[in-house]
Amino acid sequence: MKRFGIALGVAAATCALIPILAFGQSADELQKAIAEHNSQIDQLNKEIAQYQAQLTKVSAAKQTLQNTLAELNLQIKKVTASVNLTKNQISSTQLEIKQLEQGIEGKQEAIARDDAALAESLRALNDAEKQPLASQILSEGTISQVWRDMDNIGSLQEAVRGRIKNLQSQKQQLSSTKEQRESKEKVLLAQKATLVSQQGSLSATKAAQSDLLAQTKSQESTFQKIIADKKKQEASFESALNDLKSQLQKTVDLSNVTAAGSGVLHWPVDNVRITQYFGNTAFAKSGAYNGKGHNGIDLAVPIGSPIRSAGVGRVIGTGNTDVVRGCYSFGKWIMVQHGNGLNSMYAHLSQISVSTGQPVATGDILGYSGETGYATGPHLHFGVYVSSATQIMRLGDATKSATPCAGATMPITPLEGYLNPMNYL
């Protein structure tokens, strides 16, 4: 009977060694690598904060070519640091997942060994308990030997109960470790999505910088002339936009438009700062928009910021009015049609990342912010239109008068077709 207790003890000792053998030096190496990545992450966060402080200072300075290029360079450095930060976070998370996987592997081996040892102990215990006392006395020869064997059986029973408790604890730990790994995997997927967004942002900012240099040929006078031309041509564009031909000046039907309410649409930018509201704003009263008011809201965002879909829908048009010489209007724009009677408009982009007909979900990246078209500073023009009253067409085909934007394709709607985005956000 003693052999049962000995077998149990050996099995327990073997199980106790498993974590040491499984992890050993590799666990230390993993932890050291994680610590190194975390140190790099802290340093990159400091760099990003420094670039942001410099950006804030430059953005407040007078708008000159030199300051604009300096702002773009700082933005590129900041986004590059953000890309490197995210790469480090991804590497750190991958190491942590590997660490957790090793923990899972070790616990699974320990559970398997405990299962096998427990099964053997239970079989032995069952066999011992089935043997009648008289048979035990006859086989052992003396009463004292029988009592010793019965004591061993009692010890074995206690050990089995302890092993069952230990097995339950190990299984709970395994479940917890698996949950941690699954959580880390979700974090990793989010980090990878962030990296894609940051890389797109970097590409858009570099492209905007190249476009600016190409347009101005590094001449301050050319830069200032472009700004002046934008301001001059904008009035002509707004006048034409509201001077629609009779067949387009139809009554706007709001019966199929969803009721106004907070949360119908979502903010199209990650950090919201409104610089101009809808309607008869102070800027509109100063003579802008041909006296008809501002037909959307303006959101201040650095060039290259991701612009997200305000809701589930389908891209029904994209364009770039800057390809028409002398037309300073929407610049690069995107329109999404939602299933609630609303269209959302995104203008002055630096990069368009979707195509006409493409379905989009709320929060999907449509493109990146810029200052194309009539924009004398980086921002997003966000508009909400009545779907049934909106057409995408050449401005010249929609208006009574000719303008520099006549050949540009864009969304057209009567004045009543513009809705206040703040009523739906």
Is pLDDT of 333 > 90? yes
Give the model confidence (pLDDT) of 85-113 as tens digits: 999 999 888 888 888 888 777 777 777 76
Report the pLDDT value the prediction gives residue 126, as an integer from 0 to 100: 61
Find, among 271, 265, 261, the residue nearest to 299 by Cα: 271
181 plus 282 within the same structural domain: no
> Please, are residues 294 and 312 in contact by the beta-carbon 8 Å criterion?
no
What are the structure tokens assigned to 107, written together? 């616990």
Q: What band does 77 get if pLDDT is binned at 50, 70 and 90?
A: very high
The verdict on 14 and 128 lying in the same domain is yes
For 24-28, what is the mean pLDDT?
A: 66
Per the listing, tokens 């190990």 go with 170
**Residue 233 lies in domain:** 219-423
- Among the candidates 209, 240, 255, a domain finishes at 209
Same domain, 230 and 176: no
Query: In the structure encoding, which two tokens stand for residue 250, read together?
Result: 């139809």
Q: Let me know whether 239 and 160 are in one domain.
A: no
In a domain, 355, yes or no: yes
The whole-angstrom separation of Cα 54 and Cα 198 is 20
Least confident of 205-214, 224-233, 259-268: 224-233
Residue 330 and residue 271 in one domain: yes
The answer on 309 and 351 residing in a single domain is yes
Q: Is there a domain that residue 75 lies in?
A: yes
Least confident range from 37-46, 301-310, 341-350: namely 37-46
How far is residue 169 from each of residues 164, 175, 205, 365, measured CA to CA in Å?
9, 10, 54, 45
CATH number at 363 reads: 2.70.70.10
Higher pLDDT, 334 or 19: 334
**In the predicted model, what is the mean pLDDT of the chain?**
80
More confident residue, 9 or 374: 374
- Torsion of the alpha carbons at 297, 362, 390 and 325, rounded to the nearest 10: 60
Q: Which of 165, 187, 209 is the last residue of a domain?
A: 209
In terms of domains, do 137 and 236 share one? no
Q: For the chain, what is the domain count?
A: 2
User: Which two tokens mark 391?
Assistant: 């057409």
For residue 390, pLDDT over 90 is answered with yes
Q: What residue type is 24 in one-letter code?
A: G
Residue with the bigger pLDDT between 266 and 228: it is 266
Same domain, 204 and 249: no
CB atoms within 10 A of CB 380: 25
Q: Which of 391, 395, 389, 390 is nearest to 409 (CA)?
A: 395
The rounded percent of the chain whose pLDDT value lies above 70 is 77
Going by pLDDT thresholds of 50, 70 and 90, the confidence category of residue 119 is low
Cβ atoms of 312 and 286 closer than 8 Å: no
Tell me, yes or no, whether 249 and 370 share the same domain. Answer: yes
Q: Looking at the domain assignment, is residue 148 inside a domain?
A: yes
Both 180 and 223 in one domain: the answer is no
- Identify the band that residue 52 occupies on the pLDDT scale cut at 50, 70 and 90: confident
Percentage with pLDDT > 90 across the chain: 35
* Per-residue model confidence (pLDDT) at position 140: 53
Are residue 260 and residue 397 in the same domain, yes or no? yes
Q: What is the mean pLDDT of residues 248-269?
A: 88
Query: Considering only 130-134, 253-257, 349-353, which range has the smallest mean pLDDT?
Result: 130-134
- Residue 214: inside a domain: no
Looking at 209, 243, 263, which one is the last position of a domain?
209
**Across-strand partners of 393?**
410
Residues 204 and 228 in one domain: no
423: closest CA among 386, 393, 397, 398? Answer: 386
Residue 416 in any domain: the answer is yes
14-20, long-range: CB < 8 A, 24+ apart = 14/113, 15/110, 15/113, 15/114, 15/117, 18/106, 18/109, 18/110, 18/113, 19/106, 19/110
